[in-house]
Structure 1
């Protein structure tokens, strides 16, 4: 029987790959037979991630996802190295918390630039390559996964910049799904709950721990290794008829019809 989740021979670009969820995604892409293009601003962390993987199946790209030129260069380098790009995971993220009335314009813009504009830059660069392949007769298509958040569905006190950016990613996801379906390019988003990463240390701390856990039906945090399996599913042919959807991987923290 064919393996349901396989990335054999596929090349996947992963942003925010130096730690946490991004690092776990890169490792699973390799584990499932694919090639990984690992992108991160943290050169030292990225090196530590990629040095532990087969050198012939990983390409490290250092730079900011908020740089539109980096996205174009990275796709060209990935194609030169591996022949094509079949998947993209827009995972890179930062937080700059502040209450609305106290938030500076820089704190607002920095988060929008990384999460929302960065998602657009990489989606556009990878999408152009996938469309060109489709027009040349390649029916392989591709899969794009945007890592959003329940903050984009519910709002988040002290993080209007983050919540706005993550909500905007839903619109990007649905629009790309509608425009690019004819090229067999699927675009979906995933909303994680509280994952054990450096970005969630405050939420998981003593001050907020009990209140947060009380809102999660499964009653626990998730690990990066646990939640990224859903990303791999959406990247694989196992999800070949799924596009334009927002998958909650959150232990039940947000339940909707």
Structure 2
């Protein structure tokens, strides 16, 4: 199988849908099959991984962002033989510390009480670089959150809270791996990606300047270029 024609699975993050990968799909679908699973329907990372594997081709390249990275790591646990390349964007492999878990439980409780507000103007600065505020990028982020909705958000938060520690799995990842993180990511800061880079042999880490938590939207051309080179196995070009 040629890596240049390897099918590509793109997994969105929390409160995101296929629109997260709109630019990447529009460019890369000209040369490869693209699959973007709906990860708002399941309440565990394992179920999300099973859904993705059921929808994916037999062998594929796998790129995932944030919560999608947890799903990707679960796929690497369940079916590593099917993944021929791996790209992890703005994610982490350690479980939540108590402060982060407490914050998630608080948001979950509010949502279950009917107080889900999606991505508010107050939350946006934590997700994207300030240069993206008031642009179509911000509109896309808010639109995706509205589409996932309260029930999807509850399911996703339950899944995230219960996720396992994926750090012990890192050393078993032997496929070409690209790690990307926004320099200004406040949700999963660069040190989280640095930990993944140290744990996966022969991985490559790219830190994007003036970028928050959502590189596919904040730097669409550069993210697509990085994924194209990764698919072509020319990570050092």
Q: TM-score, normalised by structure 1?
A: 0.40
Which structure has more RCO (C-alpha within 8 Å, separation ≥ 6)?
2
Task: Specify the structure having the higher radius of gyration (Cα).
Answer: 1
Q: TM-score, normalised by structure 2?
A: 0.43
